[in-house]
Structure 1
Amino acid sequence: MAAGGSYSIVEYFGGDSGYRCGYCKNEKGNFSHGMWSHTMTVQDYQDLIDRGWRRSGKYVYKPVMNKTCCPQYTIRCHALDFQPSKSHKKILKKVTKFLSKGEMPVGQSDGCDGLFKEIRGFLEPLASSLQRTVAMAAGIFLSGEQMDSAFGEGGYVPTLEPMKIQQAECPILPSNTEINRDTRPASAETSRDEQTSPTGPRPVPKPGVGADPSRPQCRKAKELRKERRLQKEQQRWQDESSLTGPNPAPVNLASNQPKTIEDFIADSLQDDPLHRLEVRLVRSAPPSPQFKATFNASYQVYKLYQMTIHHDPPDKPSESQFKRFLCDSPLEAETSPDGPDGGYGSFHQQYWLDGYIVAVGVIDILPSCVSSVYFYYHPDFASLSLGSYSALREIAFTRQLQKQSPKLCYYYLGFYIHSCPKMRYKGQYRPSDLLCPETYVWTPIERCIPRLDISAYARLNEDTKAGDAGALKDLGRVLVLHRRTVMPYSVYARKRKGSSDEREVEQYASLVGQTSTERVLLYRP
């Protein structure tokens, strides 16, 4: 129960049936336990993801690790100790070069464009059974109109024609945008060196004799920046020497201290860049005024992303599907004296480029972490590796929040799937840990990889005697909600003589752990 007196309320569905796997395409190999969450406190959800659960909209699921074809291990990054790798630096520099000079890389993205996409479409094989079960049992929580909103597909069919701007404060970026051209107002005159061609304007080289051999060669901007840093360090050392007397030779701090994510992000924030990028945080549940005002523009980017990147048919990424998948959340908005200024709960991080939304990161801010749910972007920017870039920005965001909330120091990347090579990139954000599926103890990923190379499923905790510290100890203390009344399961069982749900309740309780069962309410009809 939260400090404010509210409970988390869930309905458990079990996990005996197999469904199609989105990784290895096994038609019946995907096994997971699931439950529908009507409402949930951020602390209860933090405890659940620390036992291998994950949400997709309001549906919360946990892979059956020793049974499913592609075991999915919860992964977290130590945000405070993170240092960008060489490949991460290339991505950060690539985005900086685009913002400052408008240079768009040629070619495909880095393979991480669908970051955290493993939950995409997870509800689809369960949609009919979920709708039927929840509709039968959840009437006390949802009205008929709310049920239609939660499960109805609507009749909207998107179009590929250029989209009209429907909100002056939030224009929509159309597809096939000319992203390499300066978006700032052009002068009244057109350059005479720009002539038309069958493929559009093409600059014509000016006549000349080449570089002037009498003038010094141009130097790289990187060298100039390094030289300026060294000059500043030298000047600071000289100023300190004049006050404190002779000192040993100064240490070249610029070369000994690696650049942080914040340093790279600061490099992109120049005084007069060609493109301006701003990341805005808006609360999605309950929806803030800013979220409502930008909803349509955000949805249009999602629709283009799903159709272009994932090849969805035009009628699949409907507005109701978008709401159900990425906007609806069971998490309550909560604040705490030692928490982030914006509070805990579910948010969208909107990436605004020159006044347009070009990408959105869906995240949950929890007591101990920032948990990334999904990320999507305008297809015209695929070559910027925005999936990886957003992960780096979210790590930097976690570090920023930690200054306000000391406990909030981890960045959760969803699931790490070692048996699927395309999903191993999450292990590159180090230092990171994987969650042991048997003891729920975090283990450094370096020690996990050798075990996973041998077997897709493995116990990661190296202590062979260790067990689940949060294991179920007393089934009778499990809290249930029956006829609008909260009671222990032992009382409920006496009221419902001959009840045959003990095995199901015991399975649920063993999966969520003893602590959670005494706070989360399990709905019983």
Structure 2
Amino acid sequence: YKQQKNQFVFIAIFRSGKYVYKPIMNQTCCPQYTIRCQALHFQTSKSHKKVLKKMLKFISKGDVSKGANDEEPMDSHIEDAVACDFPYKSESHVSQSELTPLGEDHTGSVGNEDKDSGETEEEVNVQKVESDSLQICADKDTPVPGEPSHSAKVVHAPPKPGKGADLSKPLCRKAKEIRKEKKLQKLLQNQKSTLEGSQLQGGDQALLLQNSKPKTNQPKTIEDFVFVSLPDDAPHKLEVRLVPVSFEDPQFKSSFNQSATLFAKYQMSIHKDTPSDCGENEFTRFLCDSPLEAEHVPNGPECGYGSFHQQYWLDGKIIAVGVIDILPYCVSSVYLYYDPDFSFLSLGVYSALREIAFTRQLHEKAPDLCFYYMGFYIHSCPKMRYKGQYRPSDLLCPETYVWTPIEQCLPLLEHSKYSRFNQDLKAVDEGRLKELGRVRVLHKRTVMPYSVYKKRRKGPSDEASVQQYASLVGQTCSERMLLFRS
């Protein structure tokens, strides 16, 4: 089933326990698009860094961010997309009439306009002072009437105290950069003192010059935030354990009761389930039963393939569990549940980032494993749009099953909740059903193609239902799976 599950994620089929399902996209009220993140090229956004730093501060120092409890852990983060509500006009596009300072002959007309518009005298004075900070130096040549003048230049005069930045002074710099520069200068002086009295060779001079230049800052990767060495006296300890979903595994068996209790607490608090809806039987059926079988291959990851629970232990207690499937080409996220008491840590976002980092880590052992699947993206549901914040990511076209960058899909989804992403109107699904007779059927403990079963069948024809099944799974899967017929 491992290879079959890989094919499933390519045709938008996912699982819930042992139950696999695929929504009919053009009929459902909320179309669900398969979404994947390109883990190897993942770009940590500003909001993601905030979540990672918040967790790091909590573990290393015990700090709890103010106002963090007001943030829903799975909500979208919009800090990275700040829009300006006013038009910006650069200096090169400002006309001379807008820059001409107010003279005495203009104050009268301005005063008359103030009476009509209701502006106060203080507002006029502010406008006059601000306009004095710009001066126009006209060129000696007389401009040609009717043509725009290109000879006028904008000269910034030193502003009056409290009236803006002094452009004659250098820009402010970060204290971190200043410290680095001072450290390099001190190192340079020490090197010069040791070589005093002797002539430096060309190579030494180049080396000193290279060391004296500040190096450009490299953007931090997700590993720089996740895999950080903590002090020995840190107030908290966070441990992430990967546990196979199997009652034969000692770690899974010993943590089952605690994990099931956490699941019930999460469901009742977040989703308002009743205790009978989230008991141990429901927990086992939903998040422990799996059609995947554990498998270890020579070129695969050390943990092998199959279904796993990624447990987050904080100070010896489970606070979150991410249910994932590890497949040859991807890590597929199935579900997440966490302790609502720790919502201030944004565990939904944090666990997704950890799973992306885990995917990148598995890629080192299994080169083909390079994608992180986040289930379905539902654009018509605001609470599900957070998945689009993990970039770069792609959505699967519901008609041709071709991956399309999410940036190209969002404008189409804003116009219509169901959309075909592939703009090539001639393109079709290459894996569509072509031969119904080759569908594999299990009948009376015998495997046979549907063409043979159809001849043996007694009673009314079931071709319509078999046709629907084969159309949903495609030609490839229909020849690998067995359709049970009584």
TM-score scaled by structure 2? 0.72
Decide whether the 8 Å contact of 1:112 with 1:425 is kept in 2: no
Decide whether the 8 Å contact of 2:246 with 2:252 is kept in 1: no
Asked which structure has the greater CA Rg, the reply is 2
Counterpart in the other structure of 2:442:
481
Q: Following superposition of structure 1 onto structure 2, how do residues 239-388 of structure 1 map, counting pairs within 5 Å?
A: 245=204, 246-247=206-207, 249=210, 252-253=214-215, 255=217, 257-267=218-228, 269-285=230-246, 287-388=248-349
Q: CA–CA distance in 1 between the matches of 2:186 and 2:232?
A: 25
Counterpart in the other structure of 1:76:
36
Counterpart in the other structure of 1:90:
50
Q: CA–CA distance in 1 between the matches of 2:277 and 2:14?
A: 23
Q: CA–CA distance in 1 between the matches of 2:482 and 2:27?
A: 28
C-alpha distance after superposition, 1:189-221 (max 9, x if no partner): xxxxxxxxxxxxxxxxxxxxxxxxxxxxxxxxx
Q: CA–CA distance in 1 between the matches of 2:20 and 2:187?
A: 57
Cα offset, 1:339, TM superposition: 1.0
C-alpha distance after superposition, 1:135-169 (max 9, x if no partner): xxxxxxxxxxxxxxxxxxxxxxxxxxxxxxxxxxx
| Residue type at the aligned position of 1:44 | Q
| Residue type at the aligned position of 1:510 | S
1:102 alignment partner, one of 62, 65, 68: 62
Q: CA–CA distance in 2 between the matches of 1:225 and 1:291?
A: 49
Decide whether the 8 Å contact of 2:439 with 2:478 is kept in 1: yes
Task: Note if 1:55 corresponds to 2:5.
Answer: no
Any idea what SS the aligned residue of 1:307 has? Answer: helix
Any idea what SS the aligned residue of 1:267 has? Answer: coil
C-alpha distance after superposition, 1:211-248 (max 9, x if no partner): xxxxxxxxxxx967995799699989x99x99965256
Decide whether the 8 Å contact of 1:54 with 1:61 is kept in 2: yes
TM-score scaled by structure 1? 0.67
Cα offset, 1:506, TM superposition: 1.2
Counterpart in the other structure of 1:453:
414
Distance 1:513 1:483, change over 3 A: same
Decide whether the 8 Å contact of 2:310 with 2:321 is kept in 1: yes
Counterpart in the other structure of 1:429:
390
Cα offset, 1:307, TM superposition: 1.4
Q: Following superposition of structure 1 onto structure 2, how do residues 146-161 of structure 1 map, counting pairs within 5 Å?
A: none
Counterpart in the other structure of 2:129:
none
Counterpart in the other structure of 2:429:
468
Q: Which runs of 5+ in 1 are unaligned?
A: 1-40, 116-221
1:518 alignment partner, one of 467, 479, 482: 479
Moved more, 460-469 or 495-504: 495-504
Cα offset, 1:319, TM superposition: 0.6
1:442 alignment partner, one of 380, 384, 403: 403
Q: CA–CA distance in 1 between the matches of 2:450 and 2:317?
A: 52
| Residue type at the aligned position of 2:289 | D
Q: Following superposition of structure 1 onto structure 2, how do residues 209-220 of structure 1 map, counting pairs within 5 Å?
A: none
Decide whether the 8 Å contact of 2:378 with 2:385 is kept in 1: yes
Aligned length: 376
Q: CA–CA distance in 2 between the matches of 1:476 and 1:242?
A: 82
Q: CA–CA distance in 1 between the matches of 2:461 and 2:215?
A: 69
Decide whether the 8 Å contact of 1:99 with 1:268 is kept in 2: no
Decide whether the 8 Å contact of 2:431 with 2:475 is kept in 1: yes
Q: Which runs of 5+ in 2 are unaligned?
A: 77-173, 192-199
Any idea what SS the aligned residue of 1:259 has? Answer: coil
Decide whether the 8 Å contact of 1:113 with 1:382 is kept in 2: no
Q: CA–CA distance in 2 between the matches of 1:54 and 1:114?
A: 23
Distance 1:498 1:406, change over 3 A: same
Distance 1:232 1:498, change over 3 A: farther
| Residue type at the aligned position of 1:52 | A
Task: Note if 1:416 corresponds to 2:350.
Answer: no
Cα offset, 1:316, TM superposition: 2.0
Distance 1:304 1:477, change over 3 A: same
Cα offset, 1:372, TM superposition: 0.4
Cα offset, 1:502, TM superposition: 1.0
Q: Considering only aligned residues, what root-mean-square deviation do their CA atoms show, in Å? A: 2.8
Distance 1:267 1:341, change over 3 A: closer
Decide whether the 8 Å contact of 1:100 with 1:268 is kept in 2: no
Cα offset, 1:337, TM superposition: 1.6
Distance 1:249 1:229, change over 3 A: closer
Task: Note if 1:44 corresponds to 2:4.
Answer: yes
Q: CA–CA distance in 1 between the matches of 2:201 and 2:296?
A: 50
C-alpha distance after superposition, 1:78-124 (max 9, x if no partner): 00000210000000011111101112234436434499xxxxxxxxx
Distance 1:519 1:107, change over 3 A: same
Distance 1:353 1:470, change over 3 A: same
Q: State the percentage of identical aligned residues.
A: 61
Distance 1:392 1:232, change over 3 A: farther
Judging by fraction of residues, say which structure has more helix: 2
Any idea what SS the aligned residue of 2:252 has? Answer: helix
